[in-house]
Structure 1
């Protein structure tokens, strides 16, 4: 196994505990459009994806493609802005220590997310995480044409830091689509974590290299 030069870490549910507010809000917006849907279905078919795409995929699964995904997405953004005004967010236990240790060892830490840049930046500001201290780069759904499971966000991160060999990159996330993204980028290691959206059984379907309770123990596999 090659030495890991860079880790690409998902945000909500992987590095950040935001109490699942995004998926709860997505669930609410879809229900507001008159669609009968459970939060578990939203998590199963929407977790980790760019959020408009997540809405489309949930509607397609429910045979509700006649509903306007654009209108639901607009409602979702308004609801999320409201939810964020009072939301408290924090790093998942032990994760801040992990990423600071990785950076101290010279490993590049990139955060990537299916959120847009506005939402992602707002979360980081609430936690007072700073570029150059806690992480080296933030890559969001706004920064690429194709979101997960396409590898574009990881490839962009590699390009940013002149990394040619994906075998030296580790990708970690709390949803199966994170693992799929890592495999599509040909990452040397893919890690599923149980601190967020999906279950061990859902993660196992994509055959990650490791499944951990959380990123707090990530250094044990490096």
Structure 2
């Protein structure tokens, strides 16, 4: 385990506490289209994914494929932009200390997310997290052809820092799809955290190496 050279960390629910506002707006946009759905269902079938894909997957689960996922996605973006004007964003408890410690030890910290670049950058600005201080790179759904559970974002991170062996990479996230992404990339360690979107039972389905309460205790497994 001590040969880990890079950690790839999900954002919302893993490093960033934004009170699930993104999924709440996905939920609201779908309901505005006349579809009855719970936030729990949105989190179960949409957590961790590029948000248009999340909407499509929720609609598919509900057998509402006649609804326009693109129209709902456009509505979602409008709702989210409005919500962000007053949104209070903060790091998940213990996350900032952990990533600063990791960087001090020479471990590369990459943030990755199913959000687009605009949303991800907005969250980081609200927390005043800076590249080169808090993280080494940010990779979003905009930066790759295929989002989670495909491994493209992790592989891109490895290419950026010229890492050849995926076993030297640790992937952590708050949803089962984060674990699936890490396994598809053949990461040496996959970690589920319980600080965000999904429950322990949901995350356990993908058999992560570890499940932690939050990133605050990440260093204990290294």
TM-score of the aligned structures, taking structure 2 as reference length = 0.99
Answering whether residue 23 of structure 2 is matched by residue 28 of structure 1, we say: no
Aligned partners of 1:216 and 1:116: how far apart in 2?
A: 26
Q: Kindly indicate whether residue 89 of structure 2 is the aligned counterpart of residue 89 of structure 1.
A: yes
**Counterpart position of 2:19:** 19
Unaligned runs of 5+ in 2: none
For 1:204 and 1:127, locate their aligned partners in 2 and report how far apart those are by CA, in whole Å.
30
Note the alpha carbon deviations across 1:67-93, whole angstroms, 9 max, x for none: 000000000000000000000100011
Shift of 1:2: 5.6
Q: Say yes or no: does 1:61 pair with 2:65.
A: no
Size of the aligned set, in residue pairs, is: 222
- For residues 145-184 of structure 1, what are the structure 2 equivalents within 5 Å? 145-184=145-184
Contact 1:171 1:187 in 2 (8 A): yes
Residue equivalent to 1:10: 10
4+ long deviations beyond 6 Å: none
- Is the Cα–Cα contact under 8 Å of residues 170 and 187 in structure 1 kept in the other structure? yes
User: Partner of 2:122 in structure 1?
Assistant: 122
Give yes or no for the alignment of 1:113 onto 2:113: yes
Distance 1:200 1:70 in 2: 31
Aligned with 2:84: secondary structure? helix
Q: Is there any run of 5+ residues in structure 1 with no aligned partner, and where?
A: none
Counterpart position of 1:139: 139
Question: What's the CA shift string for 1:96-155, capped at 9, x where partnerless?
Answer: 000000000000000000000000000000000000000000000000000000000000
SS in 2 for 1:48: coil
1:153-187 deviation line (CA, Å, top 9, x unaligned): 00000000000000000000000000000000000
**CA–CA distance in structure 1, aligned partners of residues 32 and 220 of structure 2:** 44
**Alpha-carbon RMSD:** 0.5
8 Å Cα contact 1:16-1:89 kept in structure 2: yes
